[in-house]
């Protein structure tokens, strides 16, 4: 094999390698600031530590400029947009990005809940609805006390049978 063929083959190999790398980078989204959130949100929400938990979650989300998903100031955009020149409606890319970000924040919040508090948010569709449910359950001292008593009652066992 001549030297020019070897150089050509090497150039071809590195060209295909950089194309593969570029394709992989294009298909993989950039890392989310939420990827390392578990390092910053170390307190799991229980029936007795709502203010501590809320303080750490709020400060983290504000620092990442994501608190608008929680308080409702980042409103979900419409799922579809009108097509051009009377064509069929098309999916709104802003909607897709909003849903993706909201789901990541939901995951963050849910993963910061203890097993005893997760039932409060099961089935809720958005970060805001989860936040509102947690706020309603824990912001009032009397609500917190009632919830704490219910959880204690659920955990009581009498000869392997639940009280409830």
Within a domain: residue 9?
A: no
* pLDDT given at position 35: 65
Expressed as residue numbers, the domain containing 132 is 31-162
- The pair of structure tokens assigned to 50 is 């709502």
How confident is the model at residue 145, as a pLDDT? 67
* CA distance readout (Å), 115 to 76, 108, 112, 139: 29, 14, 10, 19
Q: Is residue 17 part of a domain?
A: no
In a domain, 86, yes or no: yes
14 in a structural domain: no
Residue 125 domain flag: yes
Asked whether the whole model's pTM tops 0.85, one would answer no
Mind spelling out the 3-state secondary structure of the chain? CCHHHHHHHHHHHHHHHHHHHHHHHHHCCCCCHHHHHHHCCCCCECCCCHHHHHHHHHHHHHHCCCHHHHHCCCCCCCCEECCHHHCCCEECHHHHHHHHHHHHHHHHHHHCECCCCHHHCCCCCCHHHHHHHHHHHHCCHHHHHHHHHHHHHHHCEECCEECC
Residue 42 is predicted with a pLDDT of 84
* pLDDT value at residue 48: 87
Q: Is residue 150 part of a domain?
A: yes
| Partners of 158 in beta bridges | 161
1 domain residue, yes or no: no
Q: By the 8 A CB rule, do 43 and 53 touch?
A: yes
- Spell out the per-residue pLDDT of the chain, length 164, in tens: 554 454 444 444 444 443 333 333 333 445 566 666 666 688 999 988 999 999 999 999 999 999 999 999 999 999 999 888 878 899 999 999 999 999 999 999 999 999 999 999 999 999 999 999 999 998 877 666 676 677 677 777 555 565 55
Query: Based on the structure, what is the number of domains in the chain?
Result: 1
Note whether residue 101 is domain-resident.
Answer: yes
Asked if 112 and 41 touch (Cβ cutoff 8 Å), the reply is yes
Phi-psi region of 5 (alpha: psi -120 to 50; beta: other; left: phi over 0): alpha
């Amino acid at each position: 094999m001549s030297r020019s063929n070897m150089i050509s083959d090497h150039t071809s190999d590195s060209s295909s390698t950089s194309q593969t790398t570029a394709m992989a980078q294009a298909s993989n989204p950039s890392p989310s600031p939420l990827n390392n959130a578990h390092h910053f949100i170390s307190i799991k929400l229980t029936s007795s530590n709502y203010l501590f938990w809320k303080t750490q979650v709020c400060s983290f989300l504000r620092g990442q400029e994501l608190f608008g998903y929680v308080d409702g100031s980042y409103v979900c955009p419409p799922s579809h947009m009108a097509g051009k020149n009377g064509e069929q409606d098309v999916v709104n890319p802003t909607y897709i990005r909003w849903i993706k970000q909201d789901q990541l924040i939901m995951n963050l919040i849910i993963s910061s809940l203890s097993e005893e508090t997760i039932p409060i948010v099961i089935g809720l569709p958005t970060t805001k609805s989860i936040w509102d449910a947690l706020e309603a359950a824990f912001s009032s001292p009397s609500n917190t006390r009632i919830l704490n008593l219910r959880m204690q009652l659920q955990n009581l066992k009498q000869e392997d049978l639940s009280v409830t």
